[in-house]
Amino acid sequence: MRDDESAGTATRAQALAWRLGRHGLVPPGGSTAEDVVGGLVALPAQSDVDLAVRTRQAAPAEGEVAAALADGRLIRTFTFRGSVHVMTPDDAAVHLAVRGSGRQWELRSWREYYGLEPQDWPAFRATVREVLDDGPLTHDELVAALTARPAYRHLGPAVEGGAWALLKALAWQGDLCLGPTRDRRTTLQALAHVPGWPGIPDLDDAGPRAVEAYVRAYGPTTPDGLQYWLGNGLSAGRRLARWTADVGDRLTTVQVGGRDALVLREDVDDLLAAEPTDAVRLLPGYDQWVLGPGTADRDVVPPAWRTAATRGTPLVVVGGVVVGTWAERDGDLTVRWAHEGPAARRALDDGVDRLAVGLGRPLRVTVEAG
């Protein structure tokens, strides 16, 4: 196929319907928590991770996310935009390789602020791993153990009081991740202690894998979508174009709403056969359905709803497009949207049923004009 030849044409509604199926939203899937998270690449920890997973499962199990985190099938670490995400160990390894490729800790500003030169980092990292070898520590406990060492006493003012930047750089290099909560405080644990941790792969391997993972989860997408996810999100920089070219034999172009978009060749037939849907889903705030393509993607988040999406308001989507918001307290659910008619109400009732399954309790619904 020539570079200027499209593999086919799909409507925006088809593309969103296909992605809804890929995300386990319509219809819900039967997969495990790690399958759900892996299919999305990452879930932001600021979201209701349990609800985000359960919404995508036909028969969710109580405490499944917590169990997967406890036994290492899932981990929490600092990745996209420096925030915490829940990921599978394999996906975390790939994306941490990309995140760490910018080597921010070697910037002059970092060297001056932390008093660590590039040649100091191997010993510093080894010390951190040694300190964490006996088990998870809170931020303050780790800082105290490090600054008790004469070589790192000078770090005190820069890392005490809850400062996380230096510890994030250790996460990016695969030395630590977030551990179990202890007395309502976050702990840090050695990644080497996570049973499924594969280690940081070579960047030339990780970069193309990250591109392919994004297109698989959020295709059809554009180069702008890849730039948002890997360029802006992980500071991939100029490497992104090369990584995209490296997987070019597995990608093709389709026309979606008059625009060229990238999709995996293996997914083209399913995409072009997808039927648009009016299914309703009620998603938690900061759900990966909107954060994956980004709240600036108007196909998913119309401008009128971008502020709500950016602020983490729970959202109502119809056919994958944000059309309203919802709030729930003690079983009382208030839905704000502008849709009317029996068909819209039946679709909403189905969406409410899915939310009730996710929350694990019945809901009393009030609908207000959005």
pLDDT tens string 151-197: 999 999 999 888 899 999 999 999 999 999 999 899 999 999 999 99
For the stretch 191-245, pLDDT in tens is 999 999 999 999 999 999 999 999 999 999 999 999 999 999 999 988 999 999 9
pLDDT band at 64 (very low <50, low <70, confident <90, very high): very high
For the stretch 277-293, pLDDT in tens is 999 999 999 999 999 99
pLDDT band at 148 (very low <50, low <70, confident <90, very high): very high
Cα separations (Å) of 315 from 11, 249, 291, 322, 353?
23, 37, 12, 7, 15
Distance CA 230, CA 124 (A): 28
pLDDT of 2 > 60? The answer is no
H or E, element range at 214:
helix 203-218
Crossing angle between the packed helical segments 89-100 and 203-218, to the nearest 10 degrees? 120
pLDDT of 88 > 70? The answer is yes
Global pTM value: 0.95
Percent of the chain with pLDDT over 90: 92
pLDDT of 1 > 50? The answer is no
Distance CA 75, CA 66 (A): 10
For the stretch 248-288, pLDDT in tens is 999 999 999 999 999 999 999 999 999 999 999 999 999 99
pLDDT of 3 > 90? The answer is no
pLDDT of 4 > 70? The answer is no
For the stretch 323-336, pLDDT in tens is 999 999 999 999 99
Q: Which one, of 283, 281, 278, 256, lies nearest residue 267 by Cα?
A: 256
Distance CA 281, CA 344 (A): 12
Query: How much is the pLDDT for 208?
Result: 98
Q: Structure tokens of 19?
A: 């992605």
